[in-house]
Amino acid sequence: MADQAQRMREIFQKGQVFKESHKGGLSRTFVVASGKGGVGKTNIVVNLALILGQLGQKITILDTDFGMANVDILFDLNSRFTLIDVIQGRKDFDDVILKGPGNVRVIPGGSGLSQIVDLDRQQRERLISRFSLLEEKGGLMLIDCPAGLSHDVLSFIAAADELILVTTPEPTAITDVYSIIKIVDNYKLHSRVNLIVNMMNSARDGQNVFKRIKRVCESFLEIEVVFLGGIEYDQSVQRAVLSSFPYVLQFPHSRAAHCTRDIARRILFGVEKPEGEAPGAGKKKGFIKRLLNLWRAK
Ligand SMILES: Nc1ncnc2c1ncn2[C@@H]1O[C@H](COP(=O)(O)OP(=O)(O)O)[C@@H](O)[C@H]1O
Ligand SMILES: [Mg+2]
């Protein structure tokens, strides 16, 4: 793991990833990760996507944990194909993209992507151009990750514009999320991380978790921690999972839906963009190019 992160840092320091200035209108990419599994990432991605869509954003979800009871199940979507089929030339991009409710697009990523990706020039160009079509339309891409820090997850984190970390108030989840922040800070993958506290008992509970994490980060690291908000523990979430019908649609007046709407608004209006950047524009070149550069440099 340390070796992989070291390689990434070298790539960044050489400027291979960031040297091209961004073009306006690219998608803004948010990667959603956590140390521990089961903290609610997939539910958050799906329900945030729906609300951001309702707020007028073009939303694409890249599900990098496809096939593991994830976005497809929550949306009740059915697909046997993933980005891996596109990369290996068996399927066209359009055959793989799924349409969820509310015009949310879902790209099933397939797991172990970075391991199998050994693209020749033509495949690489094809993937970049197909992705660019999506990216140039602007909008937001949310990337749902498996738990922990595999090589895949680390490269998604490195290539995304913003990192959202999800924790619960449980001490083990907090410790695990802090380990991720330490690595992100160590290798300067981002200068800030955004935090969501899920399954909190109250707003104060969420604030306390945030303050604990922020205090440790301020004492030992050089990274900004931004609180996007908390989502209360709410059985509507579990009921929604059981019926494959997201809680913001099925229970729009639930506590969880209310909290998720606050977070969506903060993402759109509260988190300021890096200086000089047009609204909606990625700060670096397109996500997929950055990702492929990282993989190529393995
Ligand atoms: N705010 C919440 N309140 C109650 N239960 C929740 C909440 N968020 C998630 N859950 C429960 O946790 C389970 C795991 O959530 P999931 O989104 O699959 O986590 P992850 O993607 O991080 O592994 C869900 O099936 C649901 O039962
Ligand atoms: Mg998940």
Question: Got the DSSP string for 12-49?
Answer: HHHTTTT-SPPPTTPPEEEEEE-SSTTSSHHHHHHHHH
Domain boundaries, the chain: 33-272
User: Quick one: which atom of ligand 1 is closest to the CA of 46?
Assistant: 17
Distance, C-alpha 119 to centroid of its chain: 24
pLDDT of 20 > 60? The answer is no
| CATH number of the 33-272 domain | 3.40.50.300
Mutation test residue for ligand 1: of 65, 241, 251, the one with most atoms within 8 Å of CB: 241
Residue 162 near residue 48, CB atoms below 8 Å: no
Q: Is residue 244 predicted with pLDDT exceeding 50?
A: yes
List pLDDT tens digits, range 80-105: 788 888 877 788 888 888 888 888 99
Instruction: Choose the weakest-confidence range: 8-17, 32-41, 200-209, 222-231.
Output: 8-17
Which ligand is nearest to the Cα of residue 38, counting in written order? 1
For tokens 């979507």, name the residue: 77
End-to-end Cα, the chain, rounded Å: 12
206 vs 6, residue with greater confidence = 206
Ligand 1: lining residues by beta carbon, under 6 Å: 34, 37-43, 198-199, 231, 233-234, 237-238, 241, 256
pLDDT tens by residue, 103-125: 899 988 876 666 655 667 777 77
Split at pLDDT 50, 70, 90, the class of 287 is confident
Q: Is the pLDDT at 243 greater than 60, yes or no?
A: yes
Query: Which amino acid appears at position 19 of this protein?
Result: K
In this predicted structure, what is the pLDDT of residue 23? 38
Q: Which ligand is nearest to the CA of 146?
A: 2
The model carries a pTM of 0.85
Greater model confidence, 214 or 63: 214
pLDDT of 185 > 70? The answer is yes
In this structure, which residues have their CB less than 5 angstroms from ion ligand 2? Answer: 41-42, 70
Lowest model confidence (mean pLDDT) among 3-12, 119-128, 254-263: 3-12
For residue 117 the two structure tokens come to 């990706």
How wide is the angle at C-alpha 47 spanned by C-alphas 44 and 53, nearest 5°? Answer: 130
* Mutate which of 42, 43, 200 for ligand 1 pocket (most atoms within 8 A of beta carbon): 43
